[in-house]
Structure formats: C-alpha cells, structure tokens
Structure 1
Amino acid sequence: MRSVLEPTRRARASGARLLANRDLTQVLRVLDDDPVASCMVAARLQEYGLDSRGVYGELWSRGGPGESLCFSGANLVPLRGARDDLRAFADRAVRGPRICSSVVGRRELALPLWELLAGQWGPARELRDDQPLLALERTAGVSPDLRVRRVRPDEIERYLVAAIAMFTEEIGVDPRSGDGGRSYRRRVQNLIETGRAWARFEDGEVVYKAEVGAMSRRTGQIQGVWVHPDCRGKGFGTAGTAAVANVVVSSGRTASLYVNCFNEAARRSYAKVGFRQIATFATVLLD
C-alpha cells in the first residue's frame, strides 16, 4: 500500500518548489492579505528577502504564492493551501533531516499538515490544538503600567533569569539544554539590543516581562509574557501587556499574540486590555 506521504506521479510533477527573491514582491502581497497570522514570516522576509541566509529558512509553494505557501525553518509554518498543497509540503519536509522544533500556524492548516507528517515525525511532544489568535488595533482599554520599559543591554543577566523561567514554564523544556544556553542567550540579547524586550524591575528583579518577537510592517507579535509567581493575581500582567501593546499600536501596527485556550487567567487579562480573537492557531511541539 502506498504511504500517504508517497507522491503520485502528478504530485512529483507539481511538488513544492523553493521560492527565491524574484518571487518576493508577490509573496509579500499575499502575506499582506493575512497580516496578523503571517507576521512571523512576513517580518523575516521584509527584513532579509528570500535569498539571504538571514531568513534562516526556506519558503515553498506549489502552483504559485497566491495558491499555496509554507515556511520551513526553526518552525514549519503553513500559510495557505489546499489538502494537495499540504501533502506536497509534507513530502518535501520529510525528504531530509527535520530542522524544525514545531509546526505552527492557522489551525485549519497546521493540524492537517501535522496529520501528514505524524507518521514520519511523530509522536508529538505536545499538541496545542486551540490557541486563540488575538489582535488589538487601538490603544489598550486599561491603564498601562508606566514602570514597564525597554530592557537595557547591561540588564541581560537579570532578564535572562525571567526569560528562562518563562520558557521552561511555557514550553516544558529548559532552553539551556543542548548547548548550555548559548543560542538562547543570543536570541534574548538580540531582542534586547533591538529594543523589543520589555520588563518591570523591582529591587533588581524582573516581575513582568514580554517581547515583541516579530515586527512586520503591519503587525507586532507579542510573546513571552510572564509574571513572577509572587506577583501573580495583582494586575501586573494586564497593565504590563497594555504598556507593550500601546507601543506597538503607536507605531501604526496591530498588536497581536496567541494564547493557549486553557490559560483562562491570561485570556481574561488580554480581554481587559482589549484584544479580540480573529483566528485560531495550533502548535505541535516536537522533541
């Protein structure tokens, strides 16, 4: 019996192809139709284009960017396409070693793609199949925390303590595993140096943190929201996120984030800020 991932002759002839800079204008036009959900990919392409190593990944299409798109890098991100397109993406993904640590994107794309990949890449370490994608296009509906500010480069050690705690709590693994934390430190350092890491410090310790992990021309995606355990339930998360969202909105962009459906406290907090759900994401975490 033929495997679900084994391409037919027709699929081989119309499989996923690698896009290049000559496709960039059309790709960006397509991503602009869905600016919030495509923010992670659009931000990279707007900064680096498609031929630069700075993208740290590849963009695939089957039949043209207007019909199907998928980004393959640290995350595998399906952006648009029908079932046959997802099958072509899955076929291309399993041809070589897996380079991604997750499959993430709109639920209606990410879950069917994972179904096609699970036989080769499964089982998943964790499946988060209901993650409301939220957006805010105007000033927050609550007062922002005026003590939340950009983190300075000389504060990286104190900020890293909170960032590691957040990552471990949210993802379930220590980001220092593997290389002793060098790559994670570089990532956090880049966020700080580019002015996209925010925190409130008390007595030299971070009590609230968040980052704008991706910043496209139209959207700023907030990530890594965390409140020190001793300070939870006191409004730090709501007021702090309002402060970060206001900065994004004041730049002329839509503030966005996605949250696990079961995190009721966070969802109530974001609703107070004024975020509304515009779609649903799903994330498949891989070992």
Structure 2
Amino acid sequence: MMPGLEVRRLGQPDVPAMTAFLERDAPNNLFLLANLAQWGISSPYLRYFGAFRQGELVGVLMFFRHSAGICWEDADALPLFGAIFQQASVTALSGCRRQIEPWMPFLPPAVPERTLHGVFAVLSPGDLRPWPARGERLATPDDVDTLVELYGRNLLFTYQAREEHRRRLLETLEAGGKIAFIERDGRAVSAARTSAIGHGMAMIGGVVTLPNYRGQGYATACTGLLSQELIASGHTPYLVYNPGDPAASRVYQRLGFQPYDEWIVMFWDA
C-alpha cells in the first residue's frame, strides 16, 4: 500500500519547490505562478496548500481573494483539496480542463451559476499583429473612477461592489498590473486589463465595451495595446475566450492569439 498524503498550508520555505512543480506546465499554471510573483506568499489575499507524498510535492491548491486554482499530479490529492475548497469562500475557479474536470466530483454540491468551456490562448511575442488605433491608452491611478463606472455599467455593481472594485483596480495598478482603455464623450467606454501578471506571463481579462460603442474595433485596440505593453515588459500575454462568441474569437485571432489548451471557468454566487 502506498503511503498516504500529507496536506498543509505552504509558506515561504516551500516557494522554491512549489515554483519548480508549477513550472512543469507554466502556462496552464499561470494564475498560480503569476499571483505568487506579483503578490508574494505572505500576501493576505493569497493562500497555497500543498499535497505531499513521502515529502515530495504532488499537488498545489491556490486561493486568491475569492478565486481558486489547482495543479495536481496525484489523484489522491483531489478529495483532500476538495474538503479544503468546500470550507473556503470561493466564487470562481479556473484552470486547464484536464486538471479541473477530474476534481469536479469533490467540489461543493451547489451547481455553479455559470460554467465556461473556453479556449486558453497565447500571443507569442513575434505574433502580435497591427490594429487600427482608436485613441487607446494605458490607465494610471487617476483613471480608476472612470474605469469603475465602465465596469459598473456593464456588470450592474451595487455600491458596495463598486467600491470594492475601485479598491482592486487601484491595487492592480499599484502592484504592476496594466489596464488599457478608450474614452469617448468624457468617459471610459472600452477597456482590457490584466487579471494576473508575473513570472514572465500575464492573463488578460476584463475586456469590455459599452453596448453603444461596440463594433468599432475598441476591444481590439485595447487588447492590442495591452498586449504590446506586456510583451515590451517581458510578459507573454494569455487569455481565455468563449469559442461560442464569434466576435470575441475574431478579435483575439486578428491580433495573433493562438489556441494553447482547453480551460474551464466556473462561477458561483457570492
């Protein structure tokens, strides 16, 4: 009989072994690696748990704020990680399909509000294609209020959620994250942002355009500028898009993004 697994919270002494473990498939572990690089393991927003068999790390579970990610090589870790997950306050889980699907039986019984089977795509540094400029620019902390208004209109934030999002946008910019956006009529009408950046990689998310301004190439321009700036700073851009959304697929393919793997993104009610 094989010896059982030990699962425990990971700390600073575990970072080298955890990093080496996650680097075996760095792109699919982007969130786990980039959040570690951007925020540090001592961040109050970030927690890692490791599964060990005879002292060897065989699985990692990450919580960042209310989201989660997982990487495992030993299926015996799945029920143990599931028990930890069920005690956490998680509203989003994302990752490579082959990592997430086998874990689903051990997740909370509540049905996710939404599940996206998406294409995980990469933009290799030499593949970025030019796009028609639309006056896009990078955001600074002074632009946060107009960006909160943009995301608030699109996501129908409550006041409390709006203030929380404002704080997170500021923290993102102060921690090295990037946001590209376009203004029209005195307000932000389109934007794209990094949801994680570090370890030579960045995830692009939060691509949004107000309904009255769609179809004018704004999302392409924001994503293009953001990708250009990421590449210039030594970060390979990645993103996840819905293959059932032809407009989004065209935007990313037009810029040069290529499929890398299949991802699953799951959302629960807060």
Cα offset for 1:143? 2.5
> Post-superposition, which runs of at least 4 consecutive aligned residues in structure 1 deviate over 6 A?
none
Paired with 1:149 and 1:212, the residues of 2 have a C-alpha distance of 14
Question: Superposition pairs for residues 10-25 of structure 1, below 5 Å?
Answer: 13-25=4-16
Aligned length: 265
Pick closer, same or farther for the CA change 1:176–1:60 going to 2, 3 Å: farther
Counterpart position of 2:130? 142
Counterpart position of 2:37? 46
Q: Is the 8 A contact 1:105 1:282 kept in 2?
A: yes
Counterpart position of 2:168? 187
Partner SS for 1:281: strand
Counterpart position of 2:140? 152
Does structure 1 residue 205 correspond to structure 2 residue 187?
yes
Q: Deviations over 1:86-110 (max 9, x none)?
A: 122112333xx33211221111122
Does structure 1 residue 111 correspond to structure 2 residue 101?
yes
Cα offset for 1:126? 1.5
Using the size of structure 1 for normalisation, the TM-score is 0.83
Cα offset for 1:160? 1.0
Counterpart position of 2:260? 278
Paired with 2:97 and 2:259, the residues of 1 have a C-alpha distance of 13
Cα offset for 1:250? 1.4
Partner SS for 2:194: strand
Cα offset for 1:182? 2.5
Identity of aligned residues (%): 20
Does structure 1 residue 252 correspond to structure 2 residue 242?
no
Counterpart position of 1:31? 22
Does structure 1 residue 164 correspond to structure 2 residue 146?
no
Bigger mean CA offset, 150-159 vs 262-271 = 150-159
Cα offset for 1:54? 3.6
- Supply the AA of the counterpart residue of 1:244: L
Partner SS for 1:258: strand
Q: Deviations over 1:165-209 (max 9, x none)?
A: 34x2xxxxx4437x3533222002223444612211122122320
Using the size of structure 2 for normalisation, the TM-score is 0.88
Q: Is the 8 A contact 2:152 2:162 kept in 1?
A: no
- Supply the AA of the counterpart residue of 2:123: L
Counterpart position of 2:73? 81
Paired with 1:83 and 1:195, the residues of 2 have a C-alpha distance of 34
Counterpart position of 1:61? 51
Paired with 1:213 and 1:156, the residues of 2 have a C-alpha distance of 15
Match of 1:71 among 62, 70, 73: 62
Pick closer, same or farther for the CA change 1:26–1:268 going to 2, 3 Å: same
Which consecutive unaligned segments of at least 5 residues does structure 1 have?
1-8, 169-173
Pick closer, same or farther for the CA change 1:220–1:47 going to 2, 3 Å: closer
Point out the structure with the larger strand share: 2
Partner SS for 1:28: helix
Aligned-CA RMSD value: 2.4
Cα offset for 1:48? 4.2
- Supply the AA of the counterpart residue of 1:24: V
